[in-house]
Structure 1
Amino acid sequence: MISLLLMLTVITFSCRYVFLEPKLPIRLNYRAKHFLSYSAPAVLSAIAAPILFMPEGELALHLHNRYLWAALAAIIIMLATQRMLLTVSLSFAVFIALGQYL
């Protein structure tokens, strides 16, 4: 088990190191960089969508879904303030407050 974990650690580190070390001659072209720019939003969507729309294992598109209300609050706060910490804090407070009422 430890050897498998160590191997996975080495593989992950080496894959990332190749692109982060400025002394290595490997560079990505514009098309590859542009293609990879979509990976972060795709991963975030893949993580967030099941939490927002299926909090209890089944589709929950109703007004009593506090996950959706907190996500909507986060979007509105971010658009209004452009401040990440404030957005996270206030949307978390909305989520907790909605837990008392919904």
Structure 2
Amino acid sequence: MMITILLMACITFFTRYLFLHRALPFKVGPKMQQFLSFSAPAVLTAIWVPIVFLNEEGINLNWQNPYLSAAIVAVIVAYKTHNIYYTTLAGMGLFLILN
């Protein structure tokens, strides 16, 4: 079991090391850079959408859903202020108040 964990850790390290080590002559082309620029928003969306919109029964679009209300406020604050601290405080603050 421990050998499996160590081998997987080595595989993970070396696959990331290839992209991060500057001495290796590996360059990502412009099309690949553009393609990879979508990975962070895609991963973050895959994380927050089920949290905000789903509950035990299924899709929850009820106005009393504290996750949805806090997310809407966070989006509005982010759009208006472009400040991650205000966005986080507004979203978390409203969520704590509603719960």
Is TM (by shorter chain) over 0.5? yes
- The answer to whether 1:3 aligns with 2:7 is no
Q: 2: CA distance between counterparts of 1:83 and 1:63?
A: 26
Which residue in 1 is equivalent to 2:46? 46
For residue 57 of structure 1, report the CA deviation from its aligned partner.
5.1
Q: Secondary structure of the equivalent of 1:27?
A: coil
> Identity percentage over the alignment?
38
Deviations along 1:12-60, one digit per CA (max 9) or x if unpaired, are: 1111111111110011110111111111111111111110110335210
Root-mean-square deviation over aligned CA pairs: 1.2
Deviates more, 1:52-61 or 1:69-78: 52-61
Partner in structure 1 of residue 90 of structure 2: 90
Q: Which runs of 4+ in 1 moved over 2 A?
A: none
The corresponding residue for 1:72 is 72
Uncovered stretches (5+) of structure 1, i.e. residues with no partner: none
Question: TM-score scaled by structure 1?
Answer: 0.89
- Please give the TM-score of this superposition, normalised by the length of structure 2: 0.91
How much does 1:11 deviate? Answer: 1.2
Gaps of 5+ in 2: none
Alignment: residue pair count:
99
